[in-house]
Amino acid sequence: MYQYIAPSFELAVFSCPHCNAIAHQVWDKVYVYNEYSDRFDVLDFVSISSCGNPNCGERSIWFKDKLMYPCLSTAPLPYDDMPSDVKEDFLEARNVVEISPRSAAALLRLALQKLMKHLGQEGEDINKDIGQLVKKGLPVKIQEALDSLRVYGNEAVHPGEIDLKDDKETALKLFKLLNIIVHDMIIQPKEIEELFNRIPPSKLEGIKNRDKK
């Protein structure tokens, strides 16, 4: 399962925006020479984090609490087995989350709507689709993840009680939720089915006979 910790100002460990590895970060201030005072003064609004991965060691530049270099999204990558049409919206959301968390949330809602079709639902009314999955025994935590994506995404499109305009932290968590849903609803069942189907036929027959009792 892909692990990701979003880069965040003064966080000790996160996924390096250069190498993507989860690594310890060394933080340093930036100093400039002041010719009038003949000393070095600290730039309070600029910081540098250095990746502790021995195969990387690259530096990232922060302006106040914002990552300025490299100009990469701090959102996690989609899982490889995410359906291609869902992944397309996920990646588009990832590209805009740094400048517009609200836009990212709206795109993730669209991705969720497309995902519903891959889960055997109509993909027209997300709320209705989730209800149908609940009737089929959907785990409570996955239901909560689905509804969180639905509600936050709706609020991003239609003004309501939740303001995501500058709430990047919440938007980043929505990316994680979509990955969790894909893992539990698509990837994990596929892995279990593939492994089960590799059981010798004689053993499979024994399982079928056992369950007939």
Q: Which pLDDT belongs to residue 14? A: 93
Q: Which residues contact 165 (CB under 8 A, 6 or more apart)?
A: 101, 102
DSSP 8-state code for residue 2:
-
DSSP 8-state code for residue 158:
S
Task: Please say if the pLDDT value at position 213 is more than 80.
Answer: no
Say how far apart CA 193 and CA 197 lie, in whole Å: 6
pTM, full prediction? 0.68
pLDDT band per the 50, 70, 90 thresholds, residue 121:
very high
Q: Which pLDDT belongs to residue 116? A: 94
Asked if the bond preceding 70 is cis, omega within 30° of 0, the reply is yes
Q: Which of 130, 86, 88 is nearest to 112 (CA)?
A: 86
Task: Please say if the pLDDT value at position 49 is more than 90.
Answer: yes
**Window from 123-127, 136-140, 181-185, 199-203 with minimum mean pLDDT:** 199-203
Mean of per-residue pLDDT scores for the chain: 87
Say how far apart CA 9 and CA 99 lie, in whole Å: 16
pLDDT band per the 50, 70, 90 thresholds, residue 1:
low
pLDDT band per the 50, 70, 90 thresholds, residue 160:
low
Q: What is the dihedral of CA 63, 67, 68, 74, to 10 degrees?
A: -170
Task: Please say if the pLDDT value at position 204 is more than 90.
Answer: no
Q: Compare 211 and 150 and report the one with higher pLDDT.
A: 150
